[in-house]
Structure 1
Amino acid sequence: MSRIVIVVIDGFGIGAMPDADAHRPGDGAADTLGHLLDRHRAATGHPLALPTLEALGLGLVHPHPDLARAPTLPVAAGRAALGYPGADTYAGHQTMMGADFSRVTVARFAGHLDGVAAALRESGHGTDLLGGRPVLVADGCILVHDNLEADPGVNWNVSGRLEDVSFTDVLRVARVVRSVAPVARVIAVAGRTDAPLHTFVREGALGTVGLDTPASGFYRNGGLAVRHLGASLDRARRLPELAVDAAVPVTLVGKAADVLACDAAVCLPSVDTTEVFALTRDALRRAPATALIVSNVQETDLAGHQQDAARYASVLRRTDTGLSTLLPLLSSPGDRLIVTGDHGNDPVIGHACHTREYVPVLIHRPEAARPSTAGSRATHPDHLPPAHTLADVGATAAVALGLRAGALGSGTPLLRPAAGSAGAPR
């Protein structure tokens, strides 16, 4: 019997991957957590207090002087490479759930503008170019454009201003775009601004052009509505579907409810971090002895996009507090709290895009006698291997739930199941 809670801290990187500079020059210096801790100390004169994350082993995977090196809880701690190209929430979550996203198509919108325009016209939508730039204006007010917050060409956005159009109308256009888009994700976004959307269109990296969403006010003016429309994937080989097929109840909380989009799961969307943890606790209290809960803390990512280190620190403190409230509810052998990220979003790097960084993998194991550090399986079977990817998070959760990890599209379990748990050998 195992209750598995996976908490994804969106945009929580712990240092650039070796190929970060190849994706965006300068990102080889990215370090979301390290820069955040440095900035907080410089601004306040004292370290950022993250006692729960430190107890879970964060200082083991990021040896920053402001983090305690020794975990005080029974954990296994390590870091994960992303396991997919670029740095993207949708691809990150799909990879984490076992989907093979190693071949995500990267395409700038300019190269597909004519085909998208034709599809929209065939569906009854009007289309125009925005001032001769590679941005489509659908129905006079909805922009179709490159996403400037992820690596160039990974995602496209369909954006509308709620003062001009409803989110339903934005979503209708986005679904047509999704039907012909080769990229991993088409994101429908609507919100409120103080000026027309076209005034916030900017040039991005590598020839991309799109809406500067943080500058537009969408993230701060209220009413934000978002829907992630992902590329086709083999859902039968993802962790939520495998769990449901095995009669394991699945709950998706926060942004995970949208990004993972499992029809048979209980979906509890929310953006506010405090509410995300309240919903997670409530789901955990109601859960039977074997269950899967996946929660996403989105506000860290939003703060990174806004390049607001102070806000990021505030959200991370609330996240730390929220994690502390989950631990007493996960005390049975085989229960797992897995804390990780999906990419980086360095709030001081100098741009509002995701950063290609390693992410932490912190696994609380209440049945373990002591904490363990990342190392070789040859020296201790409960140590995390020195190199793994986000796909291994889903595989580890699958085995703990008594599911066959090989049924996933990708991933290798990091830990053996606990004796007496659902996934333990019999």
Structure 2
Amino acid sequence: MSKTVIVVIDGFGVGAMPDAGALRPGDLTADTCGHVLDHCREALGRPLRLPALGALGLGLVHPHPDLARRTRLPVAVGRAALGYPGADTFAGHQTMMGADFSKVTVARLGEHLDEVTAALEAAGHQVELLGGKPLLAVDGAVLVHDNLEADPGINWNASGRLDDLPFERILSIARTVRAVAPVARVIAVGGHAEQPLSAYVRPGDNGTVGLDTPASGFYTGGGLQVQHLGAELDHARQLPELAAGAGIPVTLVGKAADILACEDAVRRPAVGTAEVLAYTLEAVRAGGDALVVANVQETDLAGHQQDTLRYGQVLEQVDAGLAALTALLDGPGDRLIVTGDHGNDPTIGHAYHTREYVPVLIHRPDAPGLEYLPDADSLADVGATAAVSLGLDTAGLENGTALRARSQAA
């Protein structure tokens, strides 16, 4: 009997990747972990209390004075590059579970207007440019546009007012766009707004144009409906499906329950950190073999809100949960893997994700002691490590090229 638990601290980076400044040169200074620790020490008059993360080796990956530089736990520690374009939660989790995102690109809608227009017209829709801007008005009711709340070119949206048409029609248009879109996600969004959506269109960064969704009132007007349409993936060759196919119970917690595919998984969607941790501990206590993938979303939300103190408070809450998990996962073959999906530095001066390395901290109760691991090229290495720990054949993962030192450390 063995359990493997992956805890993804959403938006938890440990320093900028070399290409972090390609879009915003200032992002080369990004360091979510270090800047949160620095700010919280100043604001609270004390360092953050992160004994569990320290024991798992975070201070060995990020040598900050507020983090322990040694550990007595049997852990393997290192960092991982993201292994996908940009810095995105959906792409991060899919890559982590073994997907190959090498064909996914970062692109503005304006660079693909002809292909998108042709696909929509072939599906019977009326399509026109909105006021000469690089976004499309479909059937006079739905806007197809760049997503202004993520890094430019990461995602596109199909947005409509539910006052004008049902969400199913918005979703149908989004699916047509998805069929030709090269980006990681096309997001169907329906909500209530007082004015026509054209009133809320504005330019974004790097030549993007889109709907200012917060200004539209979609988030506050009630009845919001959203569906994420990811790039085409072979989910049968991702970690959750491989585990379920081998008879291993799979539980997906928090945002992982919303964005990962596995027909047989137990899903525990939640946003609150206390609830995410409670569901994760419940799954571990259930007994027997298990794969649990949990996402702590509130760190990412604090990053978007540029609320450094809130980020630190959530980290302390996560740390307490990790201490409880470490105590439970003490059997031969048990594994606790703590990582991130990208950075989200709340001190960087904008509300976008930051392209950072993420920690990979692996607790191995049956290992002899500490092991340092070289940087991995991709988050897919995390999924490979989990597959090995569960006795699965890593050749079944779509992105088999990412198997390096950590899969051997499993």
**1:125–1:265 CA distance, 2 compared to 1 (3 A):** farther
Structure 2: which 5+ residue stretches go unaligned? none
Taking every aligned residue pair, what percent have the same amino acid on both sides?
68
2:2 aligns to what?
2
Instruction: Say if 1:188 and 1:227, in contact at 8 Å, map to a contact too.
Output: yes
Alpha-carbon distance between aligned partners in 2 of 1:243 and 1:37, rounded to the nearest angstrom? 36
SS where residue 323 of structure 2 aligns? Answer: helix
Alpha-carbon distance between aligned partners in 1 of 2:46 and 2:195, rounded to the nearest angstrom? 39
> How far apart are residue 156 of structure 1 and its match?
1.1
**1:23–1:120 CA distance, 2 compared to 1 (3 A):** same
State yes or no: 1:412 paired with 2:403.
Answer: yes
* Larger displacement relative to structure 2 (38-47 or 346-355): 38-47
Instruction: Say if 1:60 and 1:373, in contact at 8 Å, map to a contact too.
Output: no
1:74 aligns to what?
74
1:63 aligns to what?
63
* Larger displacement relative to structure 2 (145-154 or 57-66): 145-154
**1:306–1:126 CA distance, 2 compared to 1 (3 A):** farther
2:290 aligns to what?
291
> How far apart are residue 398 of structure 1 and its match?
0.6
Q: Return the letter of the residue paired with 1:280.
A: T
Q: Return the letter of the residue paired with 2:367.
A: A
Alpha-carbon distance between aligned partners in 1 of 2:35 and 2:267, rounded to the nearest angstrom? 34
The equivalences for 1:187-226 within 5 A come to 187-190=187-190, 198=198, 200-213=200-213, 225-226=225-226
Instruction: Say if 1:85 and 1:103, in contact at 8 Å, map to a contact too.
Output: no
* Larger displacement relative to structure 2 (87-96 or 409-418): 409-418
SS where residue 158 of structure 1 aligns? Answer: strand
Q: Return the letter of the residue paired with 1:107.
A: A
Instruction: Say if 2:36 and 2:312, in contact at 8 Å, map to a contact too.
Output: yes
> How far apart are residue 234 of structure 1 and its match?
2.5
Instruction: Say if 1:143 and 1:160, in contact at 8 Å, map to a contact too.
Output: yes
Deviations 1:354-413 (A, max 9, x none): 11100010111122343x252xxxxxxxxx234442111111111111111222222215
> How far apart are residue 114 of structure 1 and its match?
4.3
Q: CA RMSD in A?
A: 2.8
Deviations 1:61-110 (A, max 9, x none): 11122222223433211111111221122221121111121232222111
1:403 aligns to what?
392
* Larger displacement relative to structure 2 (189-198 or 137-146): 189-198
Alpha-carbon distance between aligned partners in 2 of 1:8 and 1:197, rounded to the nearest angstrom? 35
2:316 aligns to what?
317
2:340 aligns to what?
341
Instruction: Say if 1:97 and 1:238, in contact at 8 Å, map to a contact too.
Output: yes
Instruction: Say if 2:254 and 2:270, in contact at 8 Å, map to a contact too.
Output: yes
Instruction: Say if 1:61 and 1:77, in contact at 8 Å, map to a contact too.
Output: yes
1:358 aligns to what?
357
Q: Return the letter of the residue paired with 1:297.
A: V
SS where residue 396 of structure 1 aligns? Answer: helix
SS where residue 8 of structure 1 aligns? Answer: strand
2:272 aligns to what?
272
Q: Return the letter of the residue paired with 2:264.
A: A
Q: What is the TM-score when the length of structure 1 is the normalising length? A: 0.85
> How far apart are residue 170 of structure 1 and its match?
4.1
1:379 aligns to what?
none
Instruction: Say if 1:12 and 1:342, in contact at 8 Å, map to a contact too.
Output: yes
> How far apart are residue 217 of structure 1 and its match?
6.5
Residue correspondences, number: 407
Alpha-carbon distance between aligned partners in 1 of 2:243 and 2:66, rounded to the nearest angstrom? 39
1:304 aligns to what?
303
Alpha-carbon distance between aligned partners in 2 of 1:169 and 1:325, rounded to the nearest angstrom? 46
1:421 aligns to what?
none
**1:169–1:313 CA distance, 2 compared to 1 (3 A):** farther
> How far apart are residue 307 of structure 1 and its match?
2.2
Alpha-carbon distance between aligned partners in 1 of 2:129 and 2:29, rounded to the nearest angstrom? 37
Instruction: Say if 2:79 and 2:374, in contact at 8 Å, map to a contact too.
Output: no
Q: Return the letter of the residue paired with 1:412.
A: L
Q: Return the letter of the residue paired with 2:294.
A: S
SS where residue 22 of structure 2 aligns? Answer: helix
Q: What is the TM-score when the length of structure 2 is the normalising length? A: 0.88
Q: Return the letter of the residue paired with 1:392.
A: D
1:135 aligns to what?
135
Q: Return the letter of the residue paired with 1:265.
A: A
SS where residue 25 of structure 2 aligns? Answer: coil
Instruction: Say if 1:90 and 1:259, in contact at 8 Å, map to a contact too.
Output: yes
> How far apart are residue 248 of structure 1 and its match?
1.6
Deviations 1:282-305 (A, max 9, x none): 2222252x2211111122222222
SS where residue 63 of structure 1 aligns? Answer: coil
SS where residue 20 of structure 1 aligns? Answer: coil
Alpha-carbon distance between aligned partners in 2 of 1:153 and 1:237, rounded to the nearest angstrom? 27
Alpha-carbon distance between aligned partners in 1 of 2:215 and 2:45, rounded to the nearest angstrom? 30
Alpha-carbon distance between aligned partners in 2 of 1:71 and 1:167, rounded to the nearest angstrom? 52
Alpha-carbon distance between aligned partners in 2 of 1:144 and 1:187, rounded to the nearest angstrom? 10
SS where residue 13 of structure 1 aligns? Answer: coil
**1:43–1:295 CA distance, 2 compared to 1 (3 A):** same
**1:178–1:415 CA distance, 2 compared to 1 (3 A):** closer
Q: Return the letter of the residue paired with 1:337.
A: L
The equivalences for 1:6-155 within 5 A come to 6-120=6-120, 123=123, 127=127, 129-138=129-138, 142-155=142-155
Deviations 1:140-178 (A, max 9, x none): 554322123433222212345667766555434322321
> How far apart are residue 122 of structure 1 and its match?
5.1
> How far apart are residue 132 of structure 1 and its match?
3.2
Q: Return the letter of the residue paired with 1:367.
A: D
Deviations 1:107-141 (A, max 9, x none): 21112234434544555656554443223344655
Instruction: Say if 1:149 and 1:354, in contact at 8 Å, map to a contact too.
Output: no
Instruction: Say if 1:82 and 1:92, in contact at 8 Å, map to a contact too.
Output: yes
Alpha-carbon distance between aligned partners in 2 of 1:68 and 1:94, rounded to the nearest angstrom? 31
**1:275–1:159 CA distance, 2 compared to 1 (3 A):** farther
Instruction: Say if 1:336 and 1:364, in contact at 8 Å, map to a contact too.
Output: yes
Instruction: Say if 2:97 and 2:380, in contact at 8 Å, map to a contact too.
Output: yes
